[in-house]
Copies of this chain bind each other. A is one copy, B any other.
Amino acid sequence: MEKYNIYVGGTFTQTNQIISVKNSFDNSEIAQTFLAGKNELETAITKAIEVKDIMKNMPAFLKYDILMLIAQKLNLQKELFAITIAKEACKPLKLATAEVERSIQTFTIAAEESKRIHREYLSLDWTPSGNNKEGLVKYFPIGIVAGIAPFNFPLNLAVHKIAPALAAGCPIILKPSRSTPLSTLLLAKIIDQTELPKGAFSVLPMDREAGNQLVTDNRINLLSFTGSPEVGWNMKNQAGKKRVLLELGGNAGLIVSDSADVETAVKKSVSGAFAYAGQVCIHTQRIFVQDKIFDKFTDLFVEQTKKLVTGKPELQETDFSAMIDLENAIRVEQWINEAQQNGAKVLYGAKRNNTFVEPTIITNTNNNMKVNCCEVFGPVVTIEKYDHFNSAIQQLNNSEFGLQAGVFTNYISEMNLAFNNIEAGGVIINDVPTFRVDHMPYGGIKNSGFGREGVKYSIAEMLEPKLLVKNIL
């Protein structure tokens, strides 16, 4: 079985705790890697500290060259990365390929933004006490970044921490998900071949206990976590003096107005609901459709869902495959059952076979059902009617989450109502809440998160301003 060494402070190494990485479609082992412990973490932190000043003083052209080189090498190995993601994450190859392309884009943007670190040049003479003085504000790297990445975009959500950190001039220690560590370890091989100083990047698969040191250790200056709300918010209160970024989950809502183009809305929302079996933070979970078009919408929605090609993740034609593990598949099945037992009607799907859960469309739900009020993170969507647009917004907002929302409409007035009143980090007009491009600000309010990602925005979080006041006479 192929073994992936872990990347500790610039050295590829092994430990005595083996992790077996499996494809959840058939539970086959893909490869093995290693669990890092306290020692490895200590080495990673120590090495990161050693290169902190080199990173801080690295000229923009060198950061740019390193980041662009990573992007180019990723591009050359696109198929390898895609197949690795497909297998470790049980993600259909088409989507895995798109993820690699997005990671290339994320590194490219980070390269460009490394030359555009925000700086300010201020007049201070707004009162006599500031006369003949000027201010310059330069943003310096905050120090060492810890990144904790989830299983669902094993490459690109890690890259959303790595690329900005390097662009900002911060060493970064990445903890990938234990179930999907391979793609970031492959990435480590690429990064190891660049001029990035050894120690500025580490990849350490860890168990939760060891990983928790990333939260509490005061030598780490920023924690960027993507994962579940419960874990994330708990971290914030243990983080000591460090800055904390949380990208947590949601139960994203979508409104479809009768002024919208129904065909387009259906096509995009089937994809938003079932892409990667709904295991996406901005998975389209709750759809609110205007009365007049409700039947047309649901009929078309079921029809389109039926066309999804189901199969092994590593095949090019597959649209839909198994969930990440049995535990989650069973959980989703239970939530569907709970909804049905309380009066919900399944329009399609609902059956589970091992780790495979059918794309499931439910209606007649209420807000107490887990499929609505919790983050389902599985291939389930609920579709309900609304009469007035304002009531659709209310239903959508009736949630503890607020990551992104979507609205299909051709009315300016509805667009305005949506943007002013929907409680979310982003409101997507005429597309699903699942929409994301890598340079846009991305993150949630309410329980969905704290701070924003999106390359420029992540970089901003990883910088600390320093003001120079100087005389001009």
Contact = CB atoms under 8 A, between A and B. Distances in A.
Interface of A: 59-61, 64, 101-102, 105, 109, 112, 115-117, 119-133, 135-138, 233, 236-241, 243, 409-413, 415-416, 419-420, 424-431, 435, 437-442, 445, 447, 450, 452, 464-473
A243 B450 CA distance: 8
A136 B137 contact: no
Given A123-B60, A431-B133, A467-B426, A240 B241 contact: no
A467 B122 CA distance: 15
25 contacts: A60-B126, A61-B130, A109-B126, A121-B138, A122-B439, A126-B437, A126-B439, A129-B437, A233-B241, A241-B447, A411-B411, A412-B412, A412-B415, A412-B430, A416-B471, A424-B466, A425-B466, A426-B467, A426-B468, A426-B469, A427-B466, A427-B469, A429-B470, A430-B471, A442-B467
Contacts of A132: 59
A412 B470 contact: yes
A416 B430 CA distance: 13
Grouping DSSP codes into helix (H, G, I), strand (E, B) and loop, the A interface class, with mixed when no group exceeds half, is mixed
Contact of A410 (B126, B412, B420, B427): B412
A445 B409 CA distance: 32
B239 A437 contact: no
Contact of A437 (B124, B137, B238, B452): B124
B431 A469 contact: yes
Contact of A440 (B61, B117, B469): B469
A454 to B, nearest CB: 9
B439 A467 contact: no
A137 B415 contact: no
Contacts of A412: 409-412, 415, 429-430, 470-471
Contacts of A425: 465-467
A427 B140 CA distance: 14
A426 B128 CA distance: 20
Contacts of A435: 129, 469
A441 B424 contact: no
B127 A437 contact: yes
Contacts of A137: 121, 441
A72 B467 CA distance: 30
A288 B109 CA distance: 44
A72 to B, nearest CB: 10
Given A59-B132, A416-B471, A445-B466, 7 more contacts: A121-B137, A122-B440, A129-B435, A412-B471, A415-B468, A427-B469, A428-B469
Given A120-B121, A121-B121, A471-B412, A126 B61 contact: yes
A262 to B, nearest CB: 15
Contacts of A410: 411-413
A450 B125 contact: no
A440 B471 contact: no
For the complex of A and B, the 7 pairs showing the least CB-CB separation, nearest first, are A121-B121, A426-B467, A119-B121, A59-B125, A130-B437, A429-B470, A428-B469
B123 A115 contact: yes
A430 to B, nearest CB: 5
B468 A61 contact: no
Contact of A61 (B125, B138, B452): B125
A260 to B, nearest CB: 10
Contacts of A445: 464, 466
A118 to B, nearest CB: 9
Nearest to A413: B410
Nearest to A421: B53
Contacts of A428: 469
Contacts of A115: 112, 123, 126
A217 to B, nearest CB: 14
